[in-house]
């Protein structure tokens, strides 16, 4: 998974469905949005 800030996270041997992957992405985006202005627009795209 690559985040908007360019960092990459690797999840090995995880069996994630689309809903779970989306929830993880939103969790990271929400954390970043609290620190960086305007990034929430990218996360909501």
What digits encode the pLDDT tens for the residues 5-28?
778 877 666 677 888 888 888 887
Quote the pLDDT of residue 23: 86
Q: What's the CA gap between 45 and 40, in Å, rounded?
A: 9
Spatial contact of 33 and 39, defined as CB atoms under 8 Å apart: yes
Q: Any residues with CB less than 8 A from the CB of 39 and at least 6 apart, and which?
A: 4, 5, 29, 32, 33
Q: What's the CA gap between 12 and 10, in Å, rounded?
A: 6
- Residue that the structure tokens 């069996």 belong to: 15
Quote the pLDDT of residue 15: 77
- β strands within the chain, DSSP E: none
């Amino acid at each position: 998974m690559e985040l908007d800030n360019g960092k990459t996270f690797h999840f090995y041997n995880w069996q994630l469905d689309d809903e779970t992957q989306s929830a993880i992405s939103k969790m990271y985006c929400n954390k970043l949005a609290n620190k960086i202005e305007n990034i929430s627009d990218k996360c909501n795209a």
